[in-house]
Structure 1
Amino acid sequence: MYKVFLVDDEPFIVEGLYSILDWSDYQLEIIGSAENGKEALTLLQEHPADILITDITMPEMTGLELIREARALFPDLKIIILSGYNEFNYVKEGMQYGIENYLLKPINVEELKQTLKSTVDKIESTQAQTIGHQDMDILRSNILNRWLIGQIEQEELLERGQLLNLGVSLPYYETAVIKPMIPPNPQHEDMILYRNEKLEQVYQRVRSMTEHDEAAPGICFVDWDSDIVVVFGCSSKDDQDMLEEAFGQLIAQLRIIYPFELLVSMGELQSGLDGAAESYRDAKRVQQFFLISPHHLILTNKRLEELRNQPGSSIHVPDWGEYSRLLLSLQQEELLRRIEEDLDQLSGTEGITPHQVQNRVVEMIIWFKQAIKEANLPDPEEAEGYKSIFAGVFSSLTMDELKQQVMLAAQNVMSYLKEQQSLSPVVKQVLTQIHEHYGDELSLKLLGQEYNINPVYLGQLFHRETGKTLSDYVNSYRIEKAKDLLKRSNLKVQEVARMTGYLDNSYFFRQFKKYVGVSPAEFKGLV
């Protein structure tokens, strides 16, 4: 979607332009408006547009003065003039600034539509000629991520794939996921920057090696979890063994080059473009089993089955469903008793090795984490002390020490759950009100009246218990709902703004950019 900014000192003209046509039909979105050139210039510097539609005669700064200033700031800005004056001098001066058209009021709708269509065509032609490698990489990454999470139609994928030369027309696909375990470097103050730089180095090498591998060429990118993904396409199922062998050799080379571990998992070979997404989900699911599998392997479903069938794999398995029930119902005493019984039975298994015991214990902790995730709560690794549990498991020398680690994990997660459920009744009511009526007006004053509580005290209580101010929480929740509507509907941006409680489109634009990092139109283009 391309961005349009309107300028006219007559409000009914601006209102009419909003409703005179469906702007999304022309890949356009109105991002703001102003009543004079001075105000428009200020807003354009905050929120650049692709197309400026402006009147000529306005107070404080005329349309021609605005065009001259805006053109200096944004050389590629496309400009359409609206005017009630059919005077050659205005037309002549406007033409000097490279306007797209000079439209007379009252507006001829068909002429406006044709002007917009030709202007969009000109923008797209210019972009196709000037788009840089970085922009192409961003576009490429977004397309590939959407492909593998199932958020792109096949027609669009094939069209974009042809534009980007991705080669997404083969009958079979197999997806690999590489997670570089980059350790912290005490010589670098910014650990995040250091890790990102290392990740980029590994990614560029993997991409270069896979794209130039004649035996197994692949499409390589970084997913939204910062894992390196390689999608291999092949013409026949018979090519699978050759493909996996070539990929194995590539990984062996990488492990020689880099001193840190690379956790590598592969999904099953699947048919069709949708199959690539299924293979990706498979690889990501398998990836979590590195907690109980040797890190030097390329982990697949088949390899997991082989590991499970090794001696000792028939040892006692806890009742995971009962664990989830006890955990989510906060029955801590009963859960700890059940864990102790299961661990005693585990340790009594004939012929079991310490490594196998550790693996089963880790599975217990993984299950705690999975149960919380399925309850739609934040990742339980955020609970204090949870991250250190796994290290404690593998450093334990006795069964009592292992028991202590599992009990600690269960208690941490249980405490985490209790914290989630410890909100005061009035804050719970406010949260329910926000979640069910986010499109209505919401303020401390109104909510204080609704629940018969002092607004200042309500604001303090809400902040103390949720960690956010009411306005911040409301805005972040509304923007999440707006993102969902933009992804799952064909509603115009203005309609989404109104549905999520924003009557001022400019304010909606600013809040969306604040929380998401891109404008609503840019976000809609990405999804």
Structure 2
Amino acid sequence: MYKVFIVDDEPFIIEGLYDVVDWAKYGMEIVGHAENGRQALERMSVVPVDILVTDISMPVMTGLELIEEARKLNAELKVIVLSGFDDFAYLKEGLRLGIENYLLKPINLRELEETLVSTTDKMNKSRQEMRLDEYDIHILRSNILYRWITDRIEPKELEERAALLGLDLNQPYVMVAIVRAEFAPIESSLYQLAEQESGVLYFRDHDGDHVVIFMMKDPDTDKARAIRLLQQVRGQCFEDELSISLGSVESLGGRYTDSYLHAKEAQEYYLVLEQPSYVDYVDVQAKKGEASLSYSIDWPEYAKGIAARDKEVLFQLIDSDFDRLRHMPGMTPTILKSIAVEMVIRLKLELNDIQYTAAPDFLKNTVSDIMESVSIDALITAVKDGVGGLVDSLNHDVKSPVIQQILHHIQQHFHEDLSLKALGADYHIHPVYLGHLFHKETGESFTEYINRYRIDRAKDLLRHTPMKVQDIAKSVGYWETGYFYKQFKKFVGLSPRDFRGML
């Protein structure tokens, strides 16, 4: 509620205003009152006030003096003047100070209530514009940080944008951490972390990953601090699954973008390293060395195969390499499993340049099958099954990562109120751009896709349940039955009742 403070040297006026106006009706509450300007100013310095209702002629400090001083406490303060003086000089000075209205005593209740309505409307609009501004700034910050950490912004533009947005990128070292989680409030936890801790920046990238950037002065001390802060965030997520990976610490004057790439890569080793708190790229390098540096694998050929989505070529490479490796001196099943795990991890990493979220369970399922294999043939089959499924997924679904996440969100929440604006805020993409991208990837507008999906769900309910039509409409996201009928007939060619009657 908006907070109101009343000032008048006549107590019966104050008492009357308390009683005669239904303040809650206008979204307001009285938080205090005073009988002179000086007393009012002292109280307003400790009590937040949105609207000041004040007399003009008062002892100690006049109403006009109070307005001028109170605006120093709150520049956005709204003021309504009550006065027994029909004096143009007072009115002129009040207008200069930006008052909402100048009401003469005895107070006309209707005129006062109309003033309260217009004042709240103005404040509501101002707050909405402020939120939109904050949203736009948030989108801009995310865009600038992503372009910076992927080296896609010119130095001059970066300098200008960083100064405008208050981004401190001036420390000598940088380390990126990637956080993946199903825990919805994780985003607010990371925003809070960035706001409260110096040298910490946060955004979500195009893959939907949470990216936390730590600007560092002393790599050893500040890395330990970063780990501690991320562990605190983990503690806020209770028992929810959370995977944290740390990139390399890089010099800002060197290959600082590698830290982001290394944090991405380290995420893929989460299942392998059996390190529940976090995965450090330092450990990943050691694991890669253990797995296959001693054995000759032509990784670029695998990269070409995955880029071409050529299952046959990849199968030939797998058969050839494992046939050679299995006959090498000193080879053991454990080493072969390590090489197989390294292989599927590298293939998953190749998706960075193709489609990062394709076959989201490829790594977890394939690694599990590899570790459970009881023979070399079973191991090879596990690798080929996983790679084959990955290629099939790429060939059948070439949508962008963001659109895939949006489609998944629709499937889970189609019965809720969905909009491009809300989804754009969730995924940090401007709603206009998101609308264009959605249409490009699906061939339908966002609204058309939502309606078609909801009508398909409604058809299933009409076929398989005895639910009433109006209940079905609400269960799939239509609160107006008339609009549901209109959309159903548009997509099906029949009314819901006629459709059910044909079954």
TM-score bracket relative to the smaller structure = 0.3 to 0.5
Higher relative contact order (CA 8 A, sep 6+): 1
The normalised TM-score by structure 1 is 0.43
